[in-house]
Amino acid sequence: MPPDQPRDDERESAYELFQRGSRLLEEDHPGAAAVLLERALRLEPGKASILEALGRAYFNQGQPDLAAERFEAIVEADPLAHYAHFGLGLAAKRLGHRSVAARHLRMATVLAPDNEDYRRALRRLGDVA
């Protein structure tokens, strides 16, 4: 293959990578999903849908620190992104940052009061100052 011609795997669009990564995430393959989603993020830096899927992949892979980074990037860009607050809250809880977790889980609950998953996660956290 000529050196100036991209390989087949370099020709995929961010959307195609996102779709494949999301499918792998749904099939419970978070590690493989993260690889594809990171590639998509390099093509579309800051794209919320990619960051969210990547946050989920890292969380499900047992890497709450990386998940928190991805969810935090969404919250910084859109403070009203309730799912990002939820994901950041869960990641912070797993990292042992209970007050940070409570703040973000409360925010998710305020932004989407009908979401039982958000309310349940906040209740499970218990009393936090």
Contact in structure between 104 and 74 (CB atoms under 8 Å): no
Residue range 7-60, pLDDT digits in tens: 455 578 999 999 999 999 999 999 999 999 999 999 999 999 999 999 999 999
**Are 4 and 55 within one domain?**
yes
Tokens of 109: 């609950």
The pTM assigned to this predicted structure is 0.87
**Are 55 and 108 within one domain?**
no
Domain span holding position 41: 1-62
**Are 70 and 124 within one domain?**
yes
**Are 78 and 107 within one domain?**
yes
Which residue type is seen at 89? G
Give the pLDDT confidence score for residue 75 in this predicted structure: 98
Tokens of 74: 């969404």
**Are 58 and 92 within one domain?**
no
Residue range 70-102, pLDDT digits in tens: 999 999 999 999 999 999 999 999 999 999 999
Identify which of 61, 66, 70, 65 has the alpha carbon closest to the alpha carbon of residue 41: 70
